[in-house]
Amino acid sequence: MLCLGLTAIPAAAQQNAPAARLDDARLRNAAAEPANWPTIGGTYDEQRYSPLEQINADTIKDLKLAWYGDFDTSRGQEATPLVIDGVLYTSTAWSKVYAYDAKTGKRLWVFDPEVPGAKGQDACCDVVNRGLAAFNGKIYVGALDGRLIAIDMKTGRQVWSTQTTDTSRPYTITGAPRIVKGKVLIGNGGAELGVRGYVGAYDAETGKQAWRFYFTPNPENKPDGAASDSILMSQAYQSWGDGVWKQTGGGGTAWDAIVYDVEQNQVLVGTGNGSPWVFETRNGKGGNGDNLFLSSIVALDPDTGAYKWHYQETPGEEWDFTSVQPIILANMTIAGTPRKVLLHAPKNGFFYVIDRSNGRLLSAKNFTKVNWAAGIDIESGRPIEYPEARYSNHGREFMAQPAAFGSHNWHPMSFSPKTQLVYIPVQENPLGYKKDPNFVYRPQPGVWNMANGSTALTNTGPRNEPERIQLSQWNKGALVAWNPATQSQAWRVQHPSMGAGGVLSTAGNLVFQGTPDGVFHAYRADNGLHLWQFEGHNGIIAGAMTYQVEGEQYVAVLAGFGGSNGLNVPYIDGAKAGQGRILVFKLNGTAALPPYRPEHRPPTLVPAATWTEAAVREGEAQYGNCVLCHGFSAISLGVVPDLRRSPAIADPQAFRAVVLGGILEPRGMPNMTGRMTEEQVEQVRAFVASRARQLAEDEAVRAKVTR
């Protein structure tokens, strides 16, 4: 829900916010100030590890809530807060920014960029925001509508705003900016809808663009006046054919991982999947088929944006195997030799250890179930693909494991220098893939252009409760402790479902992680023993962080179920959605959450009207316009309204007023005028009504069983 009318914070409270002086030197030496957490990953290495150890495996039993702060939305919360000199800053859904006194929880200010509700239709995976950057008295946020905004740290007032994207295309920003040598770096998302990905650098004081690097070629192989021109024209363009990518832009969006390697003076960027997904459709004929620089890690010069090197993890990608997942920098001894490495666990299921001085692969091994490749060839660095996996070649259905939701997605992983282990939020999720021979690119707002024609149960969603249970059994999650030196699992905590949150590790021999059922957990970092938990009442998927004020250590995490799992996956058992908030803990804290009130579920209302089977089938096809937010098979986990329980489906006029009248557009429901006719809207109502009828039948069966 979008709310533009936030309560104003009194001027006196604004003036009490201390002015932080965070410069380049402090950012480079953040590890020397463990009381603060000044960047998204804690330090430039983005290890999400803290040397603080007041809260440890022995004292964790006394960890209690110190304070909490409520947000104004029930949409997904994915941000990791910053703490700088006693003030905590966090972004929330709809790109809003909150500042709190880090000790007391007193709210200091709120900044609302007033993102238009209609922009939510361009966000493939919820209207989330994963974090902020800070520098020289300013906080920076990437807004969902493509703006990069600088905010005064003390007052919460806007300093400058720069539109970083073409507003005529379905670009979004959900990732956190990074500060590098006086510049703010930000990428973007939108590959499924049809965009050309890039990362941009902007002057931190003025917002003026310093450089831009595109990750797919200009369709005409012409210069763009960008730092990427030379390498794209000389090397990348020849790896593409003459397919639909020339209309979509090809994808390759940099929507999460952007890491500054101080030792090598380079920026490492993880890039996204192809647009559309299906290789043969996207690429067309010709080219060598690698489609540079999709699904790659690309190293850039931070001063000019010039290309340095790249490593492509999934050449010719066609499974939505992005490489944007968090990148960790570390210095490790491997086979007796000290190495400066980057550690990466992307969607495709393999854990990569890469020499970050030159992009050379040192080792790679699958950390979860993988059926699309037998392994990674160390000499060439290329996957050893199974022929059956390349579905656009043979035209048959292929059930991939892992799949589009990824063996590891955006959820932060953590590396502990103390244990030398990486802690990974792992997902196990199959998905069907099959080339759609009738695909036509539709450059319309909110329309996914994947060209995947699979009709597998994993893709269409469950039609009844037995099918939903079946899918829930196919999709699991785990917290895995991985030894990158030996490429082996040290320990594993199995979760009942996918979608568990990001990870924090500390010198106190602790690993923290939340789960979709609203529980915040702590485990021993050395052996995975469960030590502590807190009932947070709302799914916790964001990554936690820790800081210290006046000698006391705190742990903070955002609660708010959502994201792609929250919107699109109707079979995560036990998931809770509701009031978004920040939870902050310390030893012997004395705060308490309000009593938990389960989500109110309106009774299932089956319309009296009837429709033909043909109308229902056509409505199911048109429901593709709605699945982005309302879930497969119209099953919602509560992040957005469950259409099967909506009174509007019983009233054709009310239904049209929402879908074509735009009466809920300020709350994120787009006006579909121009995309759907009145007849098509009525067909969607027919499909949703059929789903409501099935829900009523399932509930009746369940009621008999529980009597």
Active site residues: 320
Query: CB count, 10 Å around CB of 485?
Result: 16
What is the CA angle 603-605-610, rounded to 5?
A: 165
Which residue, 475, 470, 640, is CA-closest to 572?
475
The identity of residue 343, as a single letter, is L
Given the DSSP bridges, would you call strands 82-84 and 87-91 parallel, antiparallel or unpaired?
Answer: antiparallel
Cα gap 235→233, rounded to integer Å: 6
Q: Are strands 552-559 and 545-549 parallel, antiparallel or unpaired?
A: antiparallel
No. of helices (H) and no. of strands (E), the chain: 13, 37
Amino acid (one-letter) located at 120: G
Q: Are strands 133-135 and 138-142 parallel, antiparallel or unpaired?
A: antiparallel
User: E-assigned strands of 33-96?
Assistant: 49-50, 63-70, 82-84, 87-91
H or E element, residue 470: helix 465-474
**Which strand ranges, in their side-by-side order, compose the sheet holding 307-312?**
258-261, 266-270, 296-300, 307-312
Tokens at 422, concatenated: 């990486």
C-alpha 179/C-alpha 198 separation (Å) is: 17
Which one, of 601, 664, 665, 659, lies nearest residue 635 by Cα? 601
DSSP H helices, 84-192, are none
CB of 499 closer than 8 Å to CB of 476: no
Tokens representing residue 55 in the block: 């809260």
Between CA 508 and CA 235 the distance in angstroms is 48
Distance CA 325, CA 272 (A): 9
> Residue 387: which residues within 8 A CB-CB, separation 6 or more?
393, 394
> Which of 50, 79, 73, 197 is CA-nearest to residue 139?
79
Positive/negative CA dihedral, 69, 6, 202, 216: positive
Give 195's Cβ-side CA count (13 Å radius).
32
CB 203 within 8 A of CB 456: no
| Separation CA 264–CA 694 (nearest Å) | 58
Structure tokens at 362: 């040192």
